Structure 1
Amino acid sequence: MVLEGSYSPWIVLLSILIACGSSYNALSMNERLQYHSFFSKNFWLSLASIAMGTGIWSMHFIGMSAFMLPVRMGFNIPLTILSVLPALCASFLAFYIANLVRRSVLTFILAGSIMGLGIAAMHYMGMAAMEMEARYTYRPLLFTASVLIAVIVSIIALYIFSTLQKYMSNRLVKTATSIIMGLAIASMHYTGMKAIVFYQLEDSVHVHHSPHMNVMMLGIGIGIVVAIFLGLSGLSGVFDKYVNYRFNYIDPLTRLPNRRLFEQSLKADSHQALSIIHLHGLEKWNTGYGYNFGDELISMLAGILKNSAASRAELYRIEGNRFAMLGRPGDLKTIMERAGKAAKEDIIIQEQRAVLEIISVLAEKQPGETAAHLYTNAIAVLHHPSITYMNQIIVYDPSIHTYNLEQKLVMEIDEAMHNGQLYLVYQPKVMPGTGEVHGVEALLRWNHPIYGMLSPALFIPALEKGKKMFDVTDWIIEKVCIQAAVWKKQNRPSAIAVNIPGPYITSPRLVKVLLEGINKNGIEAENIELEITETSVVNHIEQAARSIGEIRSHGFSVALDDFGTGVSSLSYLKLLPITTLKIDKSFVDDVPHSAKDASILEAITALCRSLDLHVVVEGVETREQVEFLMKMSDAAIIQGYFYSAPQTAGAFESWTESFVGGAVPAEVL
């Protein structure tokens, strides 16, 4: 006797919603593969696979709970649990293949087939786990159709997912994709159920009017487990963002904001004064009593500063033995006095008596200066030979402190180049639409043996004033050509941009150095791009145009940097034969919240398209900025901390090996 079953519409709807919701969650987990994260990419791949696999599994059994036959129904629990494995394995392999950098149509067919067969295998294992007072058989055509539906719709869903992966940060696109994937799961399940014929032998008919309670309880239990898992998956994403923020923006020892947040606050140009508190003799304590002792000294000073600052200043730890405060001059001076008084008292650490030897520097914003000058001025005080480290409070005086430091740096630059104190770091430039690394920008760093890491904003103006930047630029070009040759042999991105001082662009010496560099190292001119600022050529625009034309005739690219910060910028696009336009960070900081800045960006990219120019947007640091740039008609090349901070050559090589191309990789930090 053939048995006819019926469905509960509400539970059917619930099963479909769970399939779509699990697919959405899996796509969200997979999305985090595209950027650097506290957790490894395998963690997110596994989590996405578990979300997808358990979604398929739970949808099946909740769908079974919706089906009511007039017989007792139950499940073999071990086989029921085991049936989740095909879905988990298939999901993992499908997501792994779909995330490969090199993909083809065959890739999607393979991944979709694996996913579809995994769905089918899980379904029919689940059916085999049923225990009931009835027998069943399958209609061959519908059975085959159910498997083909699972495979074909999975291929389509994974193709859409992979092709539109750069838009997965858009909730509408991700929702549509998850609905397609959810419907693939549901359509296979209910087609498979349609393929089953339930029957009883007439001599053993036992009719019941409701399913066994175990079926309903199983469905409810699975629903609860899935809800818990979805919640935990969501929390893991929030936790990951929190950990990344703490890891990249907060000093782990003192729990104060670190140098990156300090630099961001400084660039906001909203502060009138800066104070730097320098702890002297830390290396002596570390050597004599160990690094734990030094850490306790740092923590002690941080506690003193926190208590003294309260809420009247922004406090940061900017280096190993330096803190910084931003605020109003009067408030900072009061805090410095309180901290200096507290630091004079003896402290006991690990049964050792110690005295904090600190110097506090106060720099007030001078007329016509921006907040960026505050740091330069404060550092000039710290490097002045007249200071002592016995709890002094020194106010920056431009007539005393600036010239001495600048002169000293100019005198030491040759030694710095020779001894390796001067070195280059590289910041990637990424095409967000394809995930391709377009090239890098070479940036100069100076690790001074006495003063530590010097800010380029400090030493580059000093070298320009001291007429040493031409020599330093020649050194940079030499190092860049050597590095480009190495990366070219390794099949890594080898297009490197070099910043060129304004006056040097018109010197015949520059062309000679460039040609010698590429010929000596066996690279092409296209491997080197020169970056000039619009403000540096404003006074000799016609001569600069002729020089850039000559440089371009040899095959080198030329980029106009910091576009929009000067005057008459549009006229430069007409006069200068450049190949690339770099949009200044100031136009990106408030995007997409500022409609005016957003409109400017869109207008500039449209203009560059008409002029056949590449566009690079600098200083991109947030997910929202990347999403906005990708929505523009012509997505620009992106450079900024969102993808990567400037890094050494070795670190960049490791980064390229682990970087998964995509539109939205790791929020940084």
Structure 2
Amino acid sequence: MPSVDQVTYLHVEYSVPIIVLSVFIACLASYTSLSMNERIVYNSFFHRYIWLGLASITMGFGIWSMHFIGMSAAMLPVDMSFNVPLTILSVVPAILATFVAFSLSSTANNSSKLIVFAGIFMGLGISSMHYIGMRAMISEANYAYHFGYFILSVLIAIIASFISLFIFLKLQRYMSNFIVKSITSLLMGVTISSMHYTGMFAIRYYVDEEMELVHAHAHHVSIKAIILGVTIGIFIVLLFSILSGLLDRYVEYRLNYFDALTKRPNRRQFERLIESSTYNSGLAILHIHDLNKWNGKYGYYFGDKIICYIEELCAKLIPHNVKFFRLEGNRFAFFSMSNEDLEKLIIELNHLTTILSSPVTIDDQTIKVETAIALAVNEKKMTSKQLYENAVAVLTHYSIRFDNEIITYDSEKHKQTFANHLVNEIEDALLEKHLYLVYQPKVFLKSRRVAGLEALLRWNHPLYGELSPSVFIPILEASDKMFDVTDWIIEEVSKQIAIWQQEDRNLPVAINIPGSYVTSPRLMGSLINNVEKYKISPLLIELEITETSAVDNIEGAIQSVQAFRNVGFTVTLDDFGTGVSSLSYLKRIPVNTLKIDKSFIDGVPESQKDGEIIKAIIALGSSLHLSIVIEGVEREEQVEYLSSINELPIIQGYYYAKPMNIYVLEEWLYKFQNGEIVIKH
């Protein structure tokens, strides 16, 4: 640094408003970059490097703008200007350093070494930007650096970067809070500005001793440069802030409010509509029946093709003024806003059902798509929510048939008191024998001997006729009546086993145990009371529990199953393979038998995937010394396939017999044991 005797050192004054403006720019850039870094964590629609790039550009330009605005705050009695190419180049280290720092810190988690390295890199980048920018300054005065303050400014940049990144990572879960993010941004902006002004303080401006200073205490950086710097800085920061906000809202809107497969408005948009007070003249819901059957037989890609086929038909036929939604996997909804639109909708829905009544070829497979369309007409100025409830009442009614027809809501027929009627009549149904049991045989695959039976509940209602178990069992479960019915089933089965025991016939019978009853002490009491009352062996009663009921209370299920095993009952895990936790819980629940769900055998032997799954489950069961029951076996080809892979399983299904009442069962057992049963291939 030159001697005081040789040169004249210049006194530097600063404009406070411009300093405040520079700090504000740094804070604004910090806030925007933090917002973008949030989206790296919470948004997976765009690649993380897009958000990293936007955050780095915003932060880099913000620091760059702060730097040159801060330089403009310096008031010197000499003329000053900037080398434009070098000025523009100075922004590059800031952007690159910020990008690398954000990249490292976003993957650092709790790695202190990575955070330190990221802080060092970002601090050096900011320092490089600062001193390259200083190099771009053209002035009548010369300048030199005070070494101590120069080193201090670099250290401040590194420490400030490290602290900012550390705070961001540690408080990342709170960054959605405006106050936390604002305080963090303020801290980052102030620390970054501190580095800049420390670097400015390290500079010593001087001129030759002979030079006459004409502009005493004047600020000779052009005001145009200040305006340009502020404009560029704020414009770029706000531009990327707005752009990122728009992108974020667009992504959120597309992901949350549109179906990914059909690109139609989804259930969320539908629910927003039905919660509004907008008048709708009518609502129709199209339900695709047995979609899981096609998924299981040909794969989910095939099921998607069915959905897309129906969506394309609807798009062509449905009037443009009718709102069209995909509610869930197998349902579409149509809202008409006026009576005229409703009339057009009904006409086109009839056209649609006519088309769907004919077979269609999808991926070289000719299939018959079965649907039902529930129609609710707004005749009494009902709300959209009421219309929806009426349409759902049609689809959940016991009388529903999937014959590709339109079923209009009838308040007398479809009113929700149907469920109440069943619940109120359950006791009479037990006394009057409207509830009864049927039995379906289970047969050893290898020896073709009867392995046992499964008792299944049926209801012959005096008014509604033969009710499907899929209709009345959920109603009884929801009303807590299923415990009473299960106790009745246990007693009826125990009576029948006692009769067979007296005839020297030991036929094990499986009983389905509903959900939470598995862990109820009442169940054990009912079982033991009936075993003692009818003097039967516990080994002849098999308890079938579903995986879902076990997983809902895994610890309770383990204790209950072990208790059943200790008494002598056998336990089967029903519908194995349809849940999400089978393998993880199988080793913990001490069951005797695995029962493979019907959905896996439906596609065999045509579906190689289903075949491999069955092989794997049989191999798993064998390795764990568990019996295997395969339900839903209906065809000779399925039996031959199962025989080819393993002869140990037990099979159950229409191939041998449908569920039968006790009288038909006795006749079937006699004929089967004497070889008189002819299997229909």
The aligned residue for residue 552 of structure 2 is: 531
Which residue of 2 is the match for residue 162 of structure 1?
A: 169
Residue-by-residue CA offset, 1:233-265 (whole Å, 9 max, x unaligned): 332223322332134313589986313444677
Q: Between the two structures, name the one with larger relative contact order (CA 8 Å, sep ≥ 6).
A: 1
Q: Distance in 2 between matches of 1:237 and 1:268?
A: 27
CA distance in 2, matches of 1:274, 1:185: 59
Query: How far apart in 1 are the matches of 2:76 and 2:139?
Result: 10
TM-superposition CA deviations, 1:248-301 (whole Å, max 9, x none): 313589986313444677899999996314699x99xx99x9999976642234
**1:404-415 superposed matches below 5 A:** none
- Which residue of the other structure, out of 205, 224, 246, is the alignment partner of 1:238? 246
Instruction: Give me the whole-angstrom Cα distance separating, in 2, the residues matched to 1:544 and 1:363.
Output: 43
| 1:138/1:274 CA distance change after superposition, 3 Å | same
Counterpart residue type for residue 323 of structure 1: F
- Is the 1:6–1:68 contact (alpha carbons within 8 Å) kept by the matching residues of 2? yes
- SS of the aligned residue for 1:238 comes to helix
Which residue number in structure 1 is paired with residue 640 of structure 2? none
Contact 1:69 1:211 in 2 (8 A): yes
Deviations 1:417-438 (A, max 9, x none): xxxxxxxxxxxxxxxxxxxxxx
Partner of 1:46: 53
Q: Residue in 2 aligned with 1:581?
A: none
Deviations 1:495-524 (A, max 9, x none): xxxxx92112348999xxxxxxxxxxxxxx
**Structure 1 residue 138: Cα displacement:** 0.6
Matched, 1:173 2:180: yes
Cα deviations by residue, 1:304-323 (Å, 9 ceiling, x for unpaired): 5x35x7xxxxx633368853
The DSSP-based 3-state class of the residue aligned with 2:552 is: strand
Aligned match of 1:341? 347
SS of 1:71 mapped into structure 2? coil
Deviation at 1:142, TM superposition (A): 1.1
Matched residue type, 2:256: N
CA contact (8 A) 1:149 1:187 kept: yes
Q: Secondary structure at the match of 2:40?
A: helix
Which residue is equivalent to 1:116? 123
The residue aligned with 1:323 is 332
Structure 1 pair 529/149, CA: closer, same or farther in 2 (3 Å)? farther
Query: Secondary structure, in 3 states, of the residue corresponding to 1:38?
Result: coil
List per-residue Cα deviations over 1:97-119 (Å, max 9, x = no partner): 22225323333322222222222
For the 8 Å contact 1:274–1:374, the answer to whether it is kept is no
Deviations 1:429-468 (Å, cap 9, x if unpaired)?
xxxxxxxxxxxxxxxxxxxxxxxxxxxx99993896999x
- Name the amino acid aligned to 1:248: N
Q: C-alpha separation between the residues in 1 aligned to 2:318 and 2:388?
A: 24
For residues 320 and 504 of structure 1, the distance between their equivalents in structure 2, rounded to whole angstroms, comes to: 31
1:552-574 deviation per Cα after TM superposition (whole angstroms, max 9, x unaligned): xxxxxxxxxxxxxxxxxxxxxxx
Deviation, 1:15, is 0.4
Runs (5+) with no aligned partner, structure 1: 310-314, 347-356, 404-410, 415-456, 471-499, 511-527, 534-542, 552-669
The answer to whether the Cα contact below 8 Å between 2:53 and 2:99 also exists between their aligned partners in 1 is yes
In 1, distance between residues paired with 2:471 and 2:123? 60
Are the equivalent residues in 2 in contact too, given 1:269–1:372 (CA < 8 A)? no
Deviations 1:71-100 (A, max 9, x none): 121111111111112111221122222222
In the alignment, the residues of structure 2 paired with residue 85 and residue 277 of structure 1 have an alpha-carbon distance, to the nearest angstrom, of 57
2:545 maps to none
Number of matched pairs: 424
- Note closer, same or farther for the CA distance 1:320–1:531 as it changes in structure 2 (3 Å cut): closer
Q: Structure 1 residue 44: deviation in Å?
A: 1.3
Q: Could you say which residue in structure 1 is the equivalent of 2:87?
A: 80
Conserved? CA contact 1:49–1:91, under 8 Å: yes
* Counterpart Cα distance in 1 of 2:112 and 2:72: 38
Which residue, 6, 12, 17 being the options, matches 2:19? 12
Amino acid in the other structure paired with 2:78: V
Query: Which residue is equivalent to 2:191?
Result: 184
Q: Secondary structure at the match of 1:316?
A: strand
TM-score w.r.t. length of structure 1? 0.52
> How many angstroms apart in 2 are the aligned matches of 1:380 and 1:29?
46
Counterparts of residues 50-129 of structure 1 (less than 5 Å):
50-129=57-136
Q: Is the 8 A contact 2:394 2:414 kept in 1?
A: no
2:94, 2:125 within 8 Å by CA — same for their partners in 1?
A: yes
> What is the aligned partner in structure 2 of residue 379 from structure 1?
395
Q: What is the aligned partner in structure 2 of residue 259 from structure 1?
A: 267
Superposition deviation, residue 64 in structure 1: 0.8
- Note if contact 1:276-1:322 (Cα within 8 Å) is conserved in structure 2: yes
Counterpart-to-counterpart distance in 1, 2:101 and 2:132: 20
TM-score, normalisation: structure 2: 0.51
Sort the Cα spacing of 1:105 and 1:208 in 2 relative to 1 into closer, same or farther, 3 A. same
Structure 2: runs of 5+ lacking an equivalent: 1-7, 295-301, 353-369, 379-384, 422-437, 442-469, 487-513, 525-548, 565-681
Mark the CA change 1:32 to 1:376 in structure 2 (over 3 Å): closer, same or farther: same
How far off is 1:121 after superposition?
1.2
* CA RMSD across the alignment: 5.5
| TM-aligned CA distance change 1:171 to 1:345, over 3 Å | closer
